Structure 1
Amino acid sequence: MSNYSIKDLEHLSGIKAHTIRIWEQRYNLVEPKRTSTNIRYYDDADLKLILNVALLNNNGTKISKIVKMSEEEIRDQVIALTEGTMAFEDQIHALTVAMIEIDEENFDRILTINQRSIGFDETMLQVIYPFLAKIGLLWQIGSINPAQEHFISNLIRQKLIVAIDKYVYQGGGKKFILFLPEGELHEISLLFASYILKREGHKVIYLGQSTPKKDLLEVYNYHRPQYLITVSTTAPDLESLQEYMDDLGRIFKESKIIISGYQVMRASLEFPKNISKLDHISDIKGFVDSLDNDFTSVKS
């Protein structure tokens, strides 16, 4: 079970901390726990309730009516809402509740509804990535436990792999090696890049998580790709990132290197001439569109 501050609740629900405190006092909506040092905190059940209340309240149900509902009534109305509206913020709220409950069926239901309505690409860009960004801060500070993180990451990873497997390379296009730096395990963005590239008919050599430089070099020398793509979310650390990037630029000077990720965005870096950054991995679509591309990928 995770512990949350009132600021965590505000960050995840969009409800101001001041409003949450008013709801506590006026309606006894939630009752914060206290640590041995008298610091207030909230648990998973509190967060789930606040998320559901926020969802109903944002869609026109008054708080005075919500507090009279049973837990089952609130849940039923939330499910009906998420099936009936395609407001992205509502879908993100629902995904967060599914994460808290470790509810694979509900998580899959929400993703399936979105995929049918707006397609896989837009589900990733408009729902999944904002959802990951919203809870990303809580992962970093330890408010969300590792089981919840692994649960979410693995489900999204499975969806991406299924989407990637629909496309079979038919020849032509550009050649890409996709890899993560040694120690980097967050591969959702790299998988999304692989999906976009394969769908557009490019050849992808996917090396995935935590790739040592010597292994990368061996594959590079064999395939000689025009492009390498990598993402730095937690590794290398900021102190080592410039050196790592300089090494990539020097070792693979005959290829263009595309780099993205949280570490890259928050660091002040000097980019070697053969390295470009993407401000967000979603920009991979624009990058791929900019390539000379007069061929088509064929589904298996």
Structure 2
Amino acid sequence: MNNIQVSFSIKDLENLTGIKAHTIRIWEKRYNLLCPNRTDTNIRNYSLESFQKLLNISYLNNNGLKISKIANLKEEEIPIKVREIASRAKVEDHAINALKMAMINFDQVLFYSTYNNLLENKTFSEIFYSVFLPLLNEIGLLWQTNTITPAHEHFISVHIKQKILLNIERLQSLEPQPTTRTFILFLPENEIHDIGLLFINYQLRSKGYHTIFLGESVPMKSLCDLLEFFKEVTFVSYFTVQPDEASIPKYINEFNDLLLQKSNTNFYLMGPKLASLNLKSIPKQIHTFTSIESLVKEL
């Protein structure tokens, strides 16, 4: 484990574990489960070890152990009990907790060991859907509440990207179907969150489709060049931050006028920014999806 000193407020622990601050205080007072340090003004301050212990306590409690029983366990028995339950129960929750610890500690070894353990019983796609996606959703909330720093978010994002790219690389020998359409994957200008798009690229390639991955912040006009090279084109994009909600209808209409004038071109679109979009008003060759899974099932 890295020798990085990390301390947490009770609000940080609430955000990271999902356990309400009021409940944490009760567990401390009634069961002496955590022993926080206190500032001169009597504000609680928790160590990294306390955070790890609370994650384990939360896991045991969520899997049916009463808090009074957990309190009677010796300190060294708690992680052992977690491993016992994780080995025969839902491993995803345990893996997500382990990856949170890897993120907080910038611990690459823990990230790789957790991932490799998951690979023993799951495919890469199953890991992405059941572990990586929920983790990324949680991290987004933690970043918004200032519980973690951009460095933490970048650490976990880069490692997940590496796994997607590694799995895409393994598909290089898989030739696209001779009659397949071409999928062009891109993010609009000023949009840099490409993990979802990378995974869609992996799914398309694994199904034998021809893909062109352009990545982040692509000007709309530059996409015109690709229509000269490929006959049947489906554009794919993911709106996480950009464009802003007020600008999305204008973006969609401009995209339709510029790039979708041929009947064999389409635009697949998804992302949280689409939540307020009036679907009845969009052009017929633009298709929206609520999740990566729903898009993949459409293929």
Fold shared by both chains (TM-score > 0.5): yes
Gaps of 5+ in 2: none
Name which of 124, 127, 134 aligns with 1:120: 124
- Contact kept in structure 2, 1:2 and 1:144, CA below 8 Å: no
User: 1:102-117 maps to which residues of 2 (within 5 A)?
Assistant: 102-117=106-121
Q: Which amino acid aligns with 2:36?
A: E
Relative to structure 1, the CA distance from residue 232 to residue 23 in structure 2 (aligned partners, 3 Å threshold; closer, same or farther) is same
**Are the structure 2 counterparts of residues 199 and 29 from structure 1 closer, same or farther at C-alpha, using a change threshold of 3 Å?**
same
Q: Whole-Å Cα distance in 1 between the matches of residues 89 and 247 of structure 2?
A: 45
Could you say which residue in structure 1 is the equivalent of 2:289? 278
Q: What's the RMSD between the two structures over aligned residues?
A: 2.9
**1:139, CA displacement in angstroms?**
1.9
Question: Which of 166, 173, 178 does residue 170 from structure 2 map onto?
Answer: 166
The answer on 1:261 being equivalent to 2:266 is no
SS in 1 for 2:208: coil
Q: Are 1:99 and 2:109 counterparts?
A: no
Report if aligned partners of 1:48, 1:100 keep a CA contact under 8 Å in 2: no
What aligned pairs does 1:75-154 form with structure 2 within 5 A after superposition?
78=82, 82=86, 85-154=89-158
SS in 1 for 2:216: strand
Percent identity, aligned pairs only? 36
Correspondence for 1:197: 204
Query: Alpha carbons of 1:286 and 1:146: their partners in 2 closer, same or farther (altered >3 Å)?
Result: same
The equivalent of 1:294 in structure 2 is: none
Q: Distance in 2 between matches of 1:78 and 1:151?
A: 26
Shift of 1:179: 0.4
Q: Deviations over 1:49-69 (max 9, x none)?
A: 321322244443833135x41
Higher RCO structure (Cα 8 Å, ≥6 apart): 1
Deviation at 1:138, TM superposition (A): 1.6
Deviation at 1:169, TM superposition (A): 2.8
How far apart in 2 are the matches of 1:266 and 1:52? 38
SS at match of 2:122: helix
State TM-score, norm by structure 2. Answer: 0.82
Measured after TM superposition, the shift of residue 285 of structure 1 is 2.0
Q: Matched residues in 2 for 1:158 and 1:164: separation?
A: 10
- Taking structure 1 as the reference length, the TM-score comes to 0.82
Contact 1:228/1:258 (<8 A) preserved: yes
Point out where structure 1 has 5 or more consecutive residues left out of the alignment. 289-300
Q: Deviations over 1:249-285 (max 9, x none)?
A: 2211131101111111355564222111110122222
In the alignment, residue 31 of structure 1 is paired with which amino acid? Answer: P
Say which SS state the counterpart of residue 120 (structure 2) adopts.
Answer: helix
The aligned counterpart of 1:231 is: 238
Deviation of 1:224 (Å): 4.4
